[in-house]
């Protein structure tokens, strides 16, 4: 519990203490000091009840009730808390009167439920204030998380503009398409369309932090079509995609980043090339993507800024259940991303 919560608690229940003491019965034979102590005990019991209400409200917030339902819950909980505290204090005072006869007059002057109206008003005011502050806090946290997500996306797009899609790749793709124009104009037109789609996805992706698996696969296929112009038969591509995963959302650029890293660090440097395999399937309410390539995992392969950025965006978008992992399996490097339950 935060310091701010306790400061507000002390302030609010101090005001209640003052009001309850002013409204105390004046015709009893109990001294003012003893009545003050009894009122102080009532305020303490009231504070304990508000802490219990806080636990109830925090437990219910995950259910996403609307404003009207929250208002009804707050009013009902306030009345029940007031009745519970009043009856508890009434019987505690009755028990104390057995040991201290001077409290009998105070107990008789304040029968059961006599304190409940004031307590109910106090709890209703407390509940409305607490729920309003809690809602504002959640809205601020959501807005802050959205801003962080947008900043992470902008950073990812900048990373790709500066390094992921290098001028070397662009020049090679254009030169290969130019050479195809004289040999196979139709194939050259097809690769030029892929090149245009790849550039469009890279440079004009918009502000959408998440895209569907189908969208990510489309741009990966276009990209691989261009890469095949350079690698030719050195690259064997395989793909296994579950139909149910196609509509699931993933961070923009995530699959393409894994594929580009596999080619850049695994297939392109190897004279013999190798196999590139993409596997996508639903898992734990989310999606899991595995990119396998022939090669050896190096210590620096998982330390790039692109992968660090992707880990941050996974955390912001899906929470700690999502993750990214690189590992060596026999003669293959496997890069895995998941957005649901832990892999």
List the domain boundaries for the chain.
3-142, 165-338
**Contact yes or no for 257/155 (Cβ under 8 A):** no
Q: Collect all residues with Cβ–Cβ distance below 8 Å to 165 and sequence separation of at least 6.
A: 198, 199, 202
Distances (CA, A) of 213 to 121, 161, 163: 53, 22, 24
| Pairing of β 286-294 and β 210-212 | unpaired
**Contact yes or no for 323/155 (Cβ under 8 A):** no
Is this prediction's pTM over 0.85?
Answer: no
What's the rounded Cα separation, in Å, for the pair 208 and 287? 18
* H-helix or E-strand spanning residue 327: strand 323-329
Tens place of pLDDT per residue across the chain (343 aa) = 577 778 888 888 888 888 887 877 665 566 777 778 878 888 888 888 888 888 888 878 756 666 778 888 888 888 998 898 888 888 887 887 777 776 777 677 677 888 888 888 888 988 888 888 888 888 888 888 888 877 777 666 655 544 444 565 677 677 777 877 877 888 888 878 888 877 777 666 555 678 899 999 988 888 888 788 778 888 899 999 999 999 999 988 889 889 988 888 888 888 888 899 999 999 878 999 999 998 888 766 656 677 888 888 888 888 888 999 999 998 899 999 999 765 5
Helices (H), the chain: 3-22, 32-60, 67-99, 104-109, 116-159, 167-183, 185-203, 213-231, 254-262, 305-318
How far is it between the farthest Cα atoms of the chain? Answer: 112
Q: Which of 340, 341, 316 minimizes the C-alpha distance to 142?
A: 316
Distances (CA, A) of 53 to 13, 148, 278: 14, 32, 51
Q: Provide the residue count of the chain.
A: 343
In words, the CATH class of domain 165-338 is: alpha beta
Q: Is the dihedral of CA 219, 220, 223, 228 positive or negative?
A: negative
What's the rounded Cα separation, in Å, for the pair 130 and 50? 10
Which letter, b or e, does each residue of 94-127 get, where b requires 16 or more Cβ atoms within 10 Å of its Cβ?
Answer: eebbeeeeebbbbbebbeeeebbebbbebbbebb
What's the rounded Cα separation, in Å, for the pair 59 and 280? 36
**Contact yes or no for 176/188 (Cβ under 8 A):** no
SS3 assignment, position 233: helix
Distances (CA, A) of 180 to 118, 184, 257: 86, 5, 27
Cβ–Cβ contacts within 10 Å for residue 180, how many? 18
């Amino acid at each position: 519990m935060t310091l701010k919560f306790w400061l507000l608690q002390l302030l609010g229940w101090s005001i209640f203490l003052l009001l309850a003491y002013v409204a105390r019965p004046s015709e009893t034979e109990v001294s003012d000091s003893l009545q003050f102590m009894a009122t102080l005990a009532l305020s303490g019991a009231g504070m304990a009840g508000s802490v219990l209400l806080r636990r109830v409200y925090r437990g219910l917030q995950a259910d996403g009730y609307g404003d009207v339902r929250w208002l009804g819950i707050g009013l009902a909980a306030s009345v029940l808390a007031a009745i519970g505290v009043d009856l508890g204090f009434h019987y505690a005072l009755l028990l104390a009167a057995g040991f201290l006869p001077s409290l009998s007059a105070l107990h008789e002057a304040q029968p059961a439920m006599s304190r409940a109206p004031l307590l109910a008003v106090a709890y209703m005011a407390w509940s409305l204030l607490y729920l309003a502050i809690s809602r504002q806090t959640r809205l601020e946290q959501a807005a802050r998380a959205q801003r962080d997500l947008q900043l992470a996306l902008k950073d990812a797009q900048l990373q790709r503009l500066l390094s992921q899609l290098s001028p070397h790749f662009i020049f090679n793709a254009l030169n290969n398409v130019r050479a195809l124009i004289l040999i196979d104009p139709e194939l050259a037109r097809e690769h030029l369309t892929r090149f245009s789609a790849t550039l469009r996805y890279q440079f004009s992706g918009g502000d959408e932090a998440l895209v569907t698996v189908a969208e990510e696969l489309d741009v990966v296929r276009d990209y691989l079509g261009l890469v095949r112009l350079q690698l030719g038969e050195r690259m064997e591509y395989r793909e296994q995609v579950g139909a149910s995963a196609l509509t699931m959302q993933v961070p923009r650029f995530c699959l393409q980043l894994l594929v580009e890293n596999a080619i850049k660090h695994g297939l392109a440097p190897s004279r013999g090339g190798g196999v590139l395999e993409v596997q996508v399937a639903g898992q734990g309410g989310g999606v899991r993507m595995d990119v396998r390539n022939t090669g050896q995992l190096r210590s620096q392969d998982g330390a790039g800024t692109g992968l660090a950025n992707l880990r941050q965006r996974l955390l912001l978008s899906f929470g700690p259940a999502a993750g990214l992992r690189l590992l060596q399996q026999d003669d293959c490097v496997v890069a895995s991303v998941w957005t649901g339950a832990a892999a």
